[in-house]
Amino acid sequence: MCVLEAKASQLDVPLQVIPPLDASLLNGLKLGLEGEHQYLNAGLAIALCSTWLQRTSHLEINYLEQTSSLPEQFIKGLITASLQGRAQIVPDCCINIESPGDLVFYLDGAHSPESMEICARWFSLAIKEDDQQPTLNYQPQDDVGSSRELVQKDYHGTSRKNTTQILLFNCMSVRDPHLLLPHLMNTCASHGVHFKQALFVPNISVYNRVGSNALPPTDLQVDLSWQLTLQRLWESLIHGGDAKNIDTREEGKDDTEKSVISCENSTVFPSLPLAIKWLRDSVRQNQSVRFQVLVTGSLHLVGDVLKLVKK
C-alpha cells in the first residue's frame, strides 16, 4: 500500500482505499463466494463497477458514497458469483448414493502462506457450520452454479454423525512447504480443528476414472521423493519438530497398492485416484463417521479432484 500511495502521489492521481462490503447491504442474502475475505473483494468489485458505469454515463448515482443501498443488479451479481476451486464445497457423488454427505471435499487452491491461512480459517468455520446440520445431501449443479453444493435436509430421527478431518495436499516443488504447512496446521489448530490423517499425492496426478473395475495403472515408476519430503515435514510438525523417530512403512493388500507409504499421521499415495479410492473405502468401512476432506496447496490438484468426484 505504501508503494501505491507513493506512486499515486508522484503521478498526481487519486487513490481510493475501498473498505470491505457491509453485509447488511445484501438485504439478508449471502455472497456467492465463501470466506470472510470475499467481502473485501466484493467492496472492490462494487467500486470498480460503479466507477466504470459513471465514467461511461451509464450510472448517475455514485454508489461509492452510498451506505444504505445497492442496485438490484449489483446484489444479484454478488450473490450468484462463482469461482470453482476457491472455497468450494463438493460432496462425493459416488458415496452420496450410498450414504448422503458422508464424504465431503472442501476445495481451495491456496498456494501461498497468506492464502493458506485464509483457506484454513474458511475450512475451520465451514466444517463447524456443516456439523450443526443433521444431514447433508448432494444437489448436482452446473459449472456456473454456487461454490457451495450442500443442501440441508432435516430427516426426522436422524442423529448427527461424528466427523473426522482429512488433509489431501500437494504443492509444486517451487513452493516452500515450510511456509505453507505450518500456516495451515496452526490456523486450523487455533480453531480447534486437527487432521486425523494427511494424504500426499504426486505433483502430476494421473487422471483415471475411479471404480471397482477401473483402478489406475501402476506399472510406471512414480517419483515420490517430493511427496515423502512433504510427509516428513508434516510428521515433524505434529511431533514438535522431532522427525528422528518417525516410522514409515510401505503397505498394500495387492499389487495396486504396493507404493502406498504410511506413517502414523500421514500417507503418500502414488496417484490421486488411489487416494480417492482410499477415502471412499474408509467411508464405507466407517458408516458412523462423516469424512471432511480439505483439498489444498495446488489449483492443479483441486482441478484433478473435481474431475474425479464429479464423474
* Higher local confidence (pLDDT), 251 or 178: 178
pLDDT at 301 over 70: yes
Q: How confident is the model at residue 40 (pLDDT cuts 50, 70, 90)?
A: very high
Q: How confident is the model at residue 55 (pLDDT cuts 50, 70, 90)?
A: confident
Percent of the chain at pLDDT > 90 equals: 54
Write the pLDDT tens digit of every residue in 91-149: 998 876 566 679 999 999 999 999 999 999 999 999 998 877 655 554 545 554 455 55
Q: How confident is the model at residue 259 (pLDDT cuts 50, 70, 90)?
A: confident
Q: What confidence score (pLDDT) does residue 155 get?
A: 37
Q: What confidence score (pLDDT) does residue 96 get?
A: 62
Q: How confident is the model at residue 158 (pLDDT cuts 50, 70, 90)?
A: very low
Q: What confidence score (pLDDT) does residue 237 get?
A: 94
pLDDT at 194 over 50: yes
Residues linked to residue 260 through DSSP beta bridges, in sequence order: 251
pLDDT at 60 over 60: yes
Q: How confident is the model at residue 165 (pLDDT cuts 50, 70, 90)?
A: very high
Query: Among 117-131, 134-148, 155-169, 239-253, which is the least confidently predicted range?
Result: 134-148
Angle between helices 113-131 and 177-190 (to 10 degrees): 30
- The 3-state DSSP composition of the chain as helix, strand, coil percent (nearest 5) reads 40, 15, 45
Q: How confident is the model at residue 154 (pLDDT cuts 50, 70, 90)?
A: very low
Relative to beta strand 103-108, strand 88-91 is: antiparallel
CA-closest candidate to residue 101, choices 90, 111, 91, 116: 91
CATH number, domain 88-309, options 3.40.50.460, 3.90.190.20, 3.40.50.450, 3.30.1440.10: 3.90.190.20
Residues of the chain with CATH 3.90.190.20: 88-309
